[in-house]
Amino acid sequence: MPRRRWSRQTVIEAIRDRQRRGLPMTCVQKDDSGLAAAGRKWFGSWPDAVLAAGLQPKVRRTWSRESVLEAIRDWRRRGLPLADVWTDDKGLYLAARRRFGSWCDALLAAGLPVERREKWSRERVIAMLQEYERQGVTNIRKRDKALAGAVTKYFGTLKKARLAAGLEKRRRMWSDKRIIETIQDQHVRGLPQSAGHWNCRLASAAARHFGCWDHALVAAGFRPKKRVRWTKDLVLHAIRSRHRRGLSLTVVWKEEPSLSGAAYRIFGGWHEALAAAGITPEEATETYSREPNKG
C-alpha cells in the first residue's frame, strides 16, 4: 500500500471523514497512527487538529474523589444499573478504584448499599467446580466468568483445577517396572514387538527410560528382532510375496510398518512401489479370500 503524503488539508479531510463514518476521535493512534502523527505535526497536538477540522474534541475528564462520588450518585438517580459501569463508563470505574481502592469502597463512600462477594480461594474454586459438575455444567467460562478467572489465578488451567477437585483421573506415570510389565503383557497377548506399532506412548517412555526400544526389550527378557536392511529388490520381493500369499496390500502400514516405510523411502510412495512390482491398484484393493499358499 503506497504511503500517504499528509498536508494540512488532507489531515482535516481525514478527520472529517472519520466523523462521517462514525469513528471515534479518542483512539486514533490505535486505529490510524499515520493520521495521528500528521495531526500532531501540522497542528501541534491532536485536539488542535480536531478543532481545525471544525469539530469539538472530547475533553478528558479529571477525576477527584468528589467528582467520582457525584458521578456514582448520578448513575443511581438516573436508575442505571451500577453493575454496568465497568463496561459503559470505564473511566469512572477505573477512577473509583484508583481513588478509593475498589469499586465497592467507592459505592460505600457514596452512601450506597454494597453486597460484598465472597473472596475466592483454592477451596472455594474446588467447591464451585464440584457443584457445577453435579449440575452438569460443561462450559465454565461461559457460565461463570468470575470462577474461570479464579481457576486461572489459583491453578493455571482448568484441567489442573479439575484434577485438584477430583473430577479428572490423573494420568499414570511411566516407570521402568511398568514399561517392562507392559512389554511382557504385549507379548502374552500376541501383539507385535515393534516399537510404536500399537502404543506410541509406551515406545516414547521406553526411549526415555532405557535409551531405545531394543534396550527396553532386553530389560523385559526378549531378544530384539534383527532389523531388515531394505533395498529396492527386497521391497519388490516382499510386495510380490504378500500378493502371492493372498495378503492384503492396503493395510501394510499396520501389519508391516517397516516394509511400508521402506517403500515410501525408496519409491516415494506405496502406490509407486506397487506399480514397480507390477501390481495394479485394482489388484491391490482386492479382498483376498483364498487360503494362503504354503511355501
Average pLDDT for 236-256: 83
Residue 103 pLDDT greater than 90, yes or no = no
Average of per-residue pLDDT across 228-245? 88
Taking each continuous run of H as one helix and of E as one strand, the counts in the chain are 20, 0
Q: Name the residue among 196, 279, 281, 195 with its Cα closest to residue 242.
A: 279
Structural element, H or E, at residue 252: helix 252-255
Mean pLDDT along residues 167-174:
77
pLDDT at 286: 62
Query: Can you tell me the mean pLDDT for 214-235?
Result: 85
Whether the pLDDT of residue 190 is over 80: the answer is: no
Q: Is the pLDDT of residue 291 over 60?
A: no
| Banded pLDDT at 123 (limits 50, 70, 90) | very high
**Selected residue with higher pLDDT from 285 and 220:** 220
Q: Is the pLDDT of residue 2 over 70?
A: no
Q: Give the integer Cα–Cα distance in Å for 187 and 206.
A: 15
> 274 near 281, Cβ under 8 Å?
yes
Percent of the chain predicted with pLDDT > 70: 89
Residue 237 to residue 239: CA distance in whole angstroms: 6
pLDDT band at 116 (very low <50, low <70, confident <90, very high): low
Instruction: Please give the full DSSP string across 111-145, using - where no structure is assigned.
Output: T----PPPPP-HHHHHHHHHHHHHHT---HHHH-H
Q: Which residues contact residue 52 at a Cβ distance below 8 angstroms, ignoring those fewer than 6 apart?
A: 8, 11, 12, 43
Nine-digit cell at 148? 474461570
Per-residue pLDDT at 78: 84
What is the Cα–Cα distance from 86 to 94, expressed in whole angstroms?
A: 8
Average pLDDT in the chain: 83
pLDDT at 294 over 70: no
The predicted structure's pLDDT at residue 58:
67
